[in-house]
Structure 1
């Protein structure tokens, strides 16, 4: 595990397989992955402890753990398709995304990895884009691209496609909701091929190959889009749209949020106009974005220095913490369906934070815990004991 101040190093083949197995195991999301590796020191040691921790968390069934053979097959299939996997601590992993809460531990990518090492701006918007909206997206993408930024978007119809097309020559990142071999929508397959074959384009996904995107996968994709960009621009968005989800996530991550204003009579402008009312930066051309990003002239440098496994890092080396059954009961009883912060749990239970982190990790692996923005947690419905 890379420590603060050390150079990023590539994972060995065995470590990469262990990371993939841990990522693909049941109840192990990005946050849980980080906590497990922080607690046990490596993905392999975490894998060895998964069954016991799940049992301690109250699971009545055996936790499904990805096998070594399944991970090897996935890596071999990716290689045959011209894809590779990049780990959170490796040099090619996007620096801004690395610093974001919930960053995927592994990304499967296809294309030019250099696109991931440059600062990026995200552009998202309506699938049912107007001609004017598409023109604005292309103008923004081209202008920002000329200034040295890549353009990140979600390969959707409309605004996303327009932004990708305009940035093919300068650099673009297509973030997909399904596996890289399951592009959506089908009509953008030629665009995806152009991105992957260009000198500065790349496709990215956290999902396994052969994974058909489902509705709930798109918000997960949106958090990657928001995390890669130093800022996020919304060009046309209705009142309820995935683009507004991306804007909310970007704000939670501390990214700059930009919005292109539109006619009050156009439903596609209601979401962007509301964003401006709520404090988004009014944007009419690339210069508006570049001037706002200018104070971040160091680009991703400061973000890249953040410690990867930082939540418990300053509290105590939690590997030696062993909560008692009584401690586990106290924490579980303090939880309910409403989200609660860790500090509140510490005050209520009078237990050391490191012990509470361990108990929460056990509950998470048992499928009983829900995690919320800002680090708060709750019990899932029907999981109380």
Structure 2
């Protein structure tokens, strides 16, 4: 056992030593019901009943795996981000001319458009969380939503034709409007009983990529300035969260049908993101060399770092000793008790899901729980 593991202990607060990003492969019952709804064969209420049953079953499977935090698998969503955005005031989901490209694989052609000032009101995901919390029982109910920086990225950066509307007089006003809506969201989820909130964000994957940074510069956008703005937006959004609410951020380089859209280590963003974001933890993709080495973790302060060393893109099971060796490498930079273990991303960021089976998915989760248990022991 590596010497770094000698004082490794379990953790009772999120993020947990064995954790996960949130989404799981949609069962056939949910896929079929969503198709039937599109064809007009069932109602929204009938779809919800199917989703309810599937989520109850999913939560039990997570508990049986030994996980301390459970999610609803994002079973009620089509996209990990657009469904949440479309539930905000001032935004509408729309069909676009083309989808986003992941290594030659095209997503469905959908996005959101900004039609009025952004706000958080009677968002449907508050009810989604309430159902999850009721299913979770004594376990921690974890809510996952796209980050406020990701909203800016989708609206104003990914859409190269975006023009700031007149109801936001300045770029600062636009950023402040996003942060205010999210501040209201954080408060609403807390009031609903959420104590573990995860902000998902792939914009940082783009800001890690030298190719994409060059493309931004060619458009007159400073990637370092954008990184600072994004940290400011996130910090403003979570500034008023109560002390007993843990907020983490998951960062990856794309996850659509087991493909990806960006490569590059965390070096370009680490001095700003890791040092200045007032988050309680980071879920970091580290399953391939596309994410670089652990050296950028030297910028981490007191946050937990959840190492995404287990791939959710393939069914091939990792080797436990190899994973432990990598945890030991990271522990040479960040203290072992600031580290945790998870998949590098969700198993189904969109309803299509990744190219592995449900059996392989659960084998991965059991592997994570068992590996974490062999590294971090209860304090004596």
Q: Is the pair's TM-score, using the shorter chain for normalization, greater than 0.5?
A: no
Q: Which has the larger radius of gyration?
A: 1
TM-score, reference length from structure 1: 0.28
TM-score (norm 2): 0.28
